[in-house]
Structure 1
Amino acid sequence: MGIETQRENDGQTLVMSIQGFFDFSLHKDFRQAYKGVEGVRRYVIDLSQTEYMDSSALGMLLLLRESASDQGAEVALRNCSREVRKILEIANFQRLFTIEE
């Protein structure tokens, strides 16, 4: 459980896969996964293995978005389960992030 990262598109895309519960317990690992990473134009958060997310996860995504926009990068959310998509829609995150199938 936790976070796995990998690079795509010649290193310009950083994919962060969240396994299990996306909550405050992942705060430090989530931040370390993207802080200080060079040359990234796009961050993709893969939520295909995310069972649950809470409000602290939403806050972490907003912090990532802020950090990414400072670098001129974008953030996309990918492979959301129905439950996770519902949480994102309630929070109106489709207005702030690209949500991919």
Structure 2
Amino acid sequence: MDYGIELKEQEAVVALRGRLTFNDHAKLRALIREMLQNPVKRQVLELGSLEFVDSAGIGMLLIAREEMGNADKKLVLRGAQGQVKRVLTVAQLGKIVTIED
């Protein structure tokens, strides 16, 4: 997994690319620290370029959501496609995290 962060006036958009799996745990922890440090409240994970997510990746997204909530920030998942969208749907993540198309 790779990522890039773009700060806008109302939100931080984090574009995730590649695959989000158990092997990315340390990278995602570093990303969460960066997200906590930026000043905006709305943190958007742009998933359009994410090709694959496994169950560990879903768990890491839930950790990110919890960390953002603890810091009074809102996590939004946006633009999931293909396998990633199917996994988010099957896991019913939309009941816990805001998901936008």
In the alignment, is the contact (CA less than 8 A) between 1:43 and 1:74 conserved in 2? yes
Name the amino acid aligned to 2:96.
L
Q: What's 2:23 paired with?
A: 25
Cα RMSD after superposing both structures:
1.5
After TM superposition, what 4+ stretches of structure 1 lie above 6 angstroms from structure 2? none
**Aligned counterpart, 2:69:** 69
Q: Going by fraction, where is helix more abundant, 1 or 2?
A: 2
Give the direction of change, closer, same or farther, for the CA distance of 1:16–1:97 in structure 2 (3 Å limit): same
> Under a length normalisation based on structure 2, what TM-score does the superposition of the two structures give?
0.87
Gap runs ≥5 in structure 2:
none
For normalisation by structure 1, the TM-score amounts to 0.87
Query: Matched residues in 2 for 1:24 and 1:6: separation?
Result: 25
How many residues are treated as equivalent by the alignment? 99
Call closer, same or farther: CA 1:54–1:8 in 2, change over 3 Å: same
How many percent identity over aligned positions? 28
**Unaligned 5+ runs, structure 1:** none
